[in-house]
Amino acid sequence: MLKMKRISETYDMKVFTDNGEYFGDVEESILTQNKVFGWRVRATKNSFLNKVLGSAKGVIVPHQLVKSIGDILIISKAAVPSYSEEGGKEAKEE
């Protein structure tokens, strides 16, 4: 059964990847005419985004990468920036 949600109910909603990693919190929805274009996700303490972005505040996730919205928002792992534990951000081999 399809359930309707108000956009305002999604603010501060927790965002997780489809792998189960905590990604951040919804800060804002980006609307174009009468549909959702994307979601601004805030990098919060202990989130995957905070580890990857460092000093940046967050990212915009296109709505096409959102898999599900309920009590939490689940996004595709394609929205996750590449990250290596050893070198911090994306590691390059030469």
Percent of the chain whose predicted confidence (pLDDT) is above 90: 45
- Give rounded-to-5 percent helix, strand, coil for the chain: 15, 40, 45
Range 7-78 classified under CATH 1.10.10.10: no
Mean pLDDT of 6-21: 91
Instruction: DSSP letter for 94, please.
Output: -
Segments making up each domain of the chain, as ranges: 7-78
pLDDT digits (tens, 9 = 90+) for 40-70: 999 988 888 888 877 778 889 999 999 999 9
Q: Cα separation of 29 and 5, whole Å? A: 13
Whole-prediction pTM value?
0.78
Mean pLDDT of 3-29: 90
